[in-house]
Amino acid sequence: MKKIYLLALCSALSLVVSAGNPDRQGEAGAAQLLMNPWAPSAGLHSLGTSYVTGVEAMRINPAGVSRFAGTQVMLGYANYLQGTDISMQAIGVSSRVGESGGFGFSIMSLDFGDIPITTTEQPEGTGALMNLSFINVGLTYSHQFENKVSVGLTLRGVSESTSDVSSFGVAIDAGVQYVTGVQDAFKFGLSLRNVGSRMAYGGQGLATAADNPDQAADYKLTYAQRAAGFEMPSMLNIGASYDFLTHLENQRVTVVGNFTANSFSRDEVGAGLEYAFREQFLVRAGYRTDLDAPGRSEGTAADESPIYDGISAGASIRVPFAKGDLTRRFSVDYAYRSTRIYGGTHNVGLSLSF
């Protein structure tokens, strides 16, 4: 019956998100929700839907929050598309509550570097810089059942603004994880992400001054322009993983596979491998690609290949506070993801577990 319930839940969630639709590519907004600031999972191209735990689970599959024993605090930084001066900063906290519950809280922001303000009268710049603020805040609850099934839900607020234009929306992530086999070697996960309200920009920056239709009046009127609304980049992730060499005390090899159904772009498939020695030194690598990737458009110079169509790699060093007790540790993480343009994305992170 447990397997039947799990299959029914997976089928129900899979109906919520339509298959990848390249005709709608570029129509979604809030692209910050697709970015991953956490180095360990970024080293696997965010393919860990089935086994991610702790703070990182709030970005990939909230069901994994309750699977982390104890409390975890993480700091993440990413140099996004090296050469663009865009960076990501994030902080997150997750904690096990009771025997089966878990709460998490995370904040992520984007920094776009220095962008000069230009106008039609001053095309070379006014001397001022744009004040851009892209922030999303997430609150997660996860619960683990005795039958090795865990579920989770994240409520996320998304804010994008400049000094005179802003937009705000609310998104929901939901997920489930299931583990089975000897020493829980096989894991299966499913997550539905970024399902939320439509967003639209508004503010004084969209106001336009125009001539008064009353020719007798000697003043202009200010009109508020309506910006077109946009949806969030919803997606469905289905992943599985299997742990090898679990019979050895000091080693573990995990094989990961993941399929992503995107509502506003082509579907993706990926696979990865993680090796752990004493759970203190870990290395990982992944590969992800779009299904039916188009490449360069016919008759144009535009290349429609995905930005992250390629490999990723990363490593982690975990230093326990007490010998043999990895539940209390300090970790340093790094990840690199190759990109079609610019110099790739570099992630670094620090975490404290206790």
In angstroms, the first-to-last Cα distance of the chain is: 36
pLDDT of residue 25: 64
22, 35 contact by CB (below 8 A): no
- Which neighbouring-strand residues pair with 167? 160
pLDDT tens for each residue of 288-297: 998 876 655 4
- What is the spatial distance between Cα 234 and Cα 194, in angstroms, rounded to a whole number? 5
pLDDT of residue 18: 45
Mean pLDDT of the chain: 87
Task: Tell me the three state secondary structure of residue 17.
Answer: coil
The total of structural domains in the chain comes to 1
pLDDT of residue 285: 97
Return the CA Rg of the chain.
23
Look up residue 330 and give its two tokens. 């300090």
C-alpha separations of 28 from 33, 247, 268, 294 in Å: 11, 46, 17, 19
Task: Tell me the three state secondary structure of residue 338.
Answer: coil
Q: Residue 164: how many CB atoms within 10 A of its CB?
A: 11
Vertex 100, ends 95 and 101: CA angle to 5°?
A: 45
- 210: Cα separation from own chain's centroid: 42
Task: Tell me the three state secondary structure of residue 148.
Answer: coil
The CATH code of the domain that includes 301 is: 2.40.160.40
pLDDT tens for each residue of 125-179: 888 888 899 999 999 999 999 878 999 999 999 999 998 899 999 999 999 999 9
pLDDT of residue 9: 53
Structural domain span for residue 282: 2-353
- What is the spatial distance between Cα 326 and Cα 69, in angstroms, rounded to a whole number? 10
Q: What is the pLDDT along the chain (354 residues), one digit of tens a residue?
A: 555 445 555 554 544 444 455 556 667 888 999 999 999 999 999 999 999 999 999 999 999 999 998 999 999 999 999 989 999 999 999 999 988 999 999 999 999 988 898 988 898 888 888 889 999 999 999 999 987 899 999 999 999 999 889 999 999 999 999 999 888 899 999 999 999 989 999 998 888 888 888 777 778 888 888 888 999 999 999 999 999 986 777 899 999 999 999 888 889 999 999 999 989 999 999 999 988 766 554 544 556 677 887 899 999 999 999 887 878 999 999 999 999 889 899 999 999 999
pLDDT of residue 304: 66
